[in-house]
Amino acid sequence: MNGVQKRAFLAGSGVEAAALLLAIKSSLIALILIWTTWVAIGAFRAWRFGDLEIYDLLWQVMRASIILLVIGFYIQ
């Protein structure tokens, strides 16, 4: 954005665009971290009850972690 657009955004919203973008990115990362934790805990519970083998547990956690890394890379 150029200077005029930044001033118009600040006047209309009351917050700078960079601060709003940081809040959105932080919220998205927090949600993805919670989702990854939920996947890992769910897979661990399934493994504990015998519904998954250890390799399935590891694969699910690795997939969730890879998704977390890819989305984190694109968010930065």
Q: How confident is the model at residue 76 (pLDDT cuts 50, 70, 90)?
A: confident
Residue 3 has pLDDT above 90, yes or no: no
pLDDT at 67: 96
- Residues 39 and 58 sit within 8 Å (Cβ to Cβ): no
Tens of pLDDT, residues 24-69: 999 999 999 999 999 999 999 999 999 999 999 999 999 999 999 9
d(CA 17, CA 34): 26
pLDDT at 1: 81
d(CA 26, CA 64): 18
Mean pLDDT of 13-31: 94
